A and B are shown apart, each in its own frame.
Chain A
Amino acid sequence: MSAVTEPSVVWAYAVTERDRPACLDGLEGVGGGPVRAVVAAGLTAIAGDVPLAGFGEAALRRNLEDLGWLEATARAHHRVIEAVAGEGPVVPMRLATIYRDDAGAAAALAEHAGDLRAAIGRTRARKEWGIKAYAARPDPPDRDAGSAPRPPGRAAAGSGAAYLARRRQQLTAQERARRDVVTSAELIHARLAGLAEQSRLHPPQSPQLAGHRMQMILNAAYLLADDRDDDLAAAVTDLAGRHPAVRIEITGPWPPYSFAALPEARQP
């Protein structure tokens, strides 16, 4: 509004039913700017101005390729959503939801008001928890591991058959190990899904991302009622005992990212 500001657009973080969460004061948003409320249709979009120069279509495409920019932006987006979620129900918006001005954001609220209220209702008084499980064997069974049986020597007759038998035996053991790992993942998921109101299975993350070389066998999110934190902790402790070859990580609580999608929005 001040005379010297550069052209800006409006970055949307989340939608709530509250007028103006108190946490917005002093909160630093994407691009370092302040965060404010845009109210329409009885809903509030948590939003902030970002410079058009960095967030217009072409610039945004370019910037999203820059992992450093992406990290800073993703962390800022998450930080705001997390602060707002700390004060009550919230529906997080996907990164890079941008409007030309407040009127554009308000129009989006009005257009989707019914669905937004339903989404807020679905996640009210609930928390998202992330569960990742890893096969504790440091590397997944490898086709030609160092321990592979030696190829048959040139001498002894029948050693070829013996080699094949050994090889078969070894493959069977690997196959069994793989099956065990999958079974563990399924059992862990089934147990936790039973505690949760909803669950989502995400693709496993790469070892580089996870920060160690173990094979991720489960990457899931569970939406649990607020008063079930202890039940979740107890279940995971118990599961860790039952599946000693599996490492289980709990992350959270998260704002309900994995459960925010509008039913229609699931179709690409």
Chain B
Amino acid sequence: MASGDMVRPGSGAAQVYGPGPGAGREPANLGDILERVLDKGLVIAGDIQVNLLDIELLTIKLRLVIASLDTAREVGIDWWESDPWLNSRAAEQAGGQEELEEENRRLRARLQALESGR
């Protein structure tokens, strides 16, 4: 088991201390990389606008983290509450505001089209 002197890990590689399977060195895991490249890093506007918060990619992010959140919250760990990703999920859960707005827009447009078609 790893203790005492630390094997200097390569970037992203994991060094494990304490109980559990696979104590010792582990290779960088995809989750750690995705967590960083999707959610961290410098945000300056590009010419091609894909708001990572808006699109369904959110579901991937959620698949990565959310599964543990309810349990974690139960245990009393809630420091990620300021995370914009999760806030947008919270908003979504609270009634899907954006979706509703979008649906309203669509319905209004449809109504207009129908009325003008008369």
Contacts and interface: CB of A to CB of B under 8 A. Distances in A.
Interface of A: 9, 12, 15, 55-57, 60-61, 64-65, 67, 70-71, 74-75, 77-78, 82, 85, 91-100, 104, 108, 111-112, 116, 119, 130, 134-136, 140, 178-179, 181-182, 185, 201-212, 214-218, 221, 229-230, 233, 236-237, 239-241, 243-255, 257-258, 260-262, 265, 268
Q: How large is the interface on B (under 10, 10 to 19, 20 to 34, 35 or more residues)?
A: 35 or more
Q: Which 10 A-B pairs have the closest CB atoms?
A: A206-B67, A203-B80, A233-B6, A240-B17, A94-B41, A257-B36, A209-B31, A257-B40, A247-B20, A268-B84
B118 to A, nearest CB: 34
B101 to A, nearest CB: 17
B13 A251 contact: yes
A96 B18 contact: no
Nearest to A208: B67
A122 to B, nearest CB: 11
Most buried by A among B34, B39, B45, B68: B68
Interface string B66-98: 111101101111011001111110000000000
Contact of B37 (A15, A95, A215, A230): A95
Contacts of A61: 50, 55
A255 B12 CA distance: 9
A249 B67 contact: no
Contact of A212 (B20, B43, B85): B20
B117 interface: no
Contacts of A215: 68, 71-72, 75
Given A100-B47, A249-B17, 4 more contacts: A209-B64, A214-B20, A221-B40, A260-B40
Contacts of A97: 42-44, 46
B8 A229 contact: yes
B21 A108 contact: no
Contacts of A71: 30, 34
Nearest to B5: A233
Contact of A98 (B14, B47, B75): B47
Which of A70, A97, A182, A218 is most buried by chain B, counting CB atoms within 10 A of its CB?
A97
A248 B80 CA distance: 19
Contacts of A204: 65, 68-69, 72, 77, 80
Interface string B13-35: 11111111111001011111111
Contacts of B42: 15, 91-94, 97, 116, 119, 260-262, 265
B80 A202 contact: yes
B3 interface: yes
A68 B13 CA distance: 21
A205 B31 contact: yes
Contacts of B3: 237, 240-241
Contacts of A214: 20
B116 interface: no
Most buried by B among A91, A135, A205: A205
Nearest to B63: A206
A206 B46 contact: no
A254 B88 CA distance: 27
A206 B66 contact: yes
Contacts of B45: 108
Given A205-B65, A254-B11, A74 B34 contact: yes
